[in-house]
Structure 1
Amino acid sequence: MKKYLLLLACCLFSIFGSYSQSKTDIEVLKNTIWKTENLGNGLVWEYYHFNQKELFQSNQSVHILRTKLKNKSVKFAFGSADIHHKDSDTTRKLLKTSLIAATNNALVAVNGGFFNTKKGGAVDLIKIDGKALDTATYNSRKALPDHSRSAIVIHHNKISIVKGDTLPFWEKKLAEENIMVTGPLLLFNGKEEPLKNNAFTNNRHPRTCACITKTKEILLITVDGRNAEAQGMSLQELTFLTQNLGCKNAINLDGGGSTTMYIKNKPDNGVVNFPSDNKLFDHFGERSVSNILMILPK
């Protein structure tokens, strides 16, 4: 009997302890006074450094780019590092987010989907202005990896987050002229999506994600990591963050050393977050990537 009561007490402590922590984090986010800058063209940049271990009992550095879905002053787009030759194959390259963004005259940008670090090119479908640059490289005889089950699509300047399928080649049904398959999906129609129980999900890393809010805004979010000043987030924590920012649909992009936020005309080549590839908490640790999500002047 005593053993049973002890077990019950431990379970209750675990439940209420977890709830208390979540409640604390909700209050922290609710009361955060974000550093905010109006960038013009209906774009707003928000930033906060949680440096007293007050969010998830850790230090966190979060950047947000915010604009209305129906912002008529801008154009949503994908950018690629690849070089396209008129009558020959595409040259696969990897370039820094800031360079791809500046080349395309982007106002703001974040890094995009997952890519082949050795050969270049995306590992999932990416289509820009009707041209498929890369297609999925997964094994069609196995279950789809998490990053292959959802997408960001742009059609007539309307940007949306799409829930895909676990079956191979579902993305071939997408008809939009601009497609970036990525993932995993974090939220869809206001509900949490199931996440796999593995190191990629559970460990803290730098993260990049995009979400659409209940008030019809799009948020581009970076979470810095791999540093004492910013530990990064698990995907569960990232989901929690997007929920408390009012997101309805949210999707994960490539993270780790790729996580980069760019704002035109800012110092340090426009990099405003703290990319981790140089293992320093500064703006110079960008990793070269295959593609980006950007917002252009219309």
Structure 2
Amino acid sequence: MDSKALEEYSNKSKKPQVRMLDTHVFTLMLDMKYSDAQTLVTEGIYIFLGRGWLVTIHPSAVDLTSIVKRILEEKNRPLLESSVDALYYSILSSIVDKYEQLLTAVELSVVDMEKRSVHKRPSKQMLEHLDDLSRQIIVLRRHFWHIRDVINFLIHVQEERPDIKYLKIVYDDINQLINLVESYQDTVNSTRELYIANISLLMNDTVKTLTVFSAVLLPLTFISSVFGMNGLDLNNIWRVPFGFVLVMAIMAASAAALFAFLKAKQWILVREDAKQANKRKKQGERSMQR
């Protein structure tokens, strides 16, 4: 086997690649799985294909032996009737098939984030989870791109071989996985935008509430400051001056007037159906003006 190809294994290289050497073909594929919800673990699978022989080198964490056994049990007759290339292509196909299980976990995480962004109050932890998920999707997409380049190169170089049909199926599968990953990335970006929009809505509601309190309390503070009132005479609390009653009445009337004004402007205590009706009314007026 080629010394430079073996050097890729000794250096634990994990970038998918293919090399057409003098006596054999060297292919580096990846086994990917999640150790937990946020950690993607990748292991290199080093495949050497020669004339009538096939050698694979991989870490013990990669259960490639069971994959080969399953291939031989399910596709025994075609492999016996064909060359060792069919086994090589079937191994590549089985490795790519495992990526579908990986994307199932990603899809569940994306759906969970969508639900949480709508039904739960926004939090800093959720934004961090979205960023982690986005980075994982970017890493997956980059790996899938490299693997697609490997498969595409093999198809064009070995297009005259009769077993190349197995490899074309693998190419279609990896293309579908790339499309899924890109759609997940778009969904994560949309979820992040929805999350930021929810934060803006909550902030607007908070500012609106504080503004209403300020609008009601400021006139009352002004009136009390004009009359120089610091409170009642606690030594004779049962005797309430008429001026105090008058000022309190003015303050109550001012607060009620401001409350009615804010409600008439539909800034407070507005139902959703009323908002929609008002919006449709304004749109109708604009269309009539046009």
Higher relative strand content: 1
Higher relative helix content: 2
Q: Which has the larger radius of gyration?
A: 2
Question: For this structure pair, what is the TM-score category when the shorter chain's length is used for normalisation?
Answer: under 0.3
TM-score (structure 2 length as normaliser): 0.19
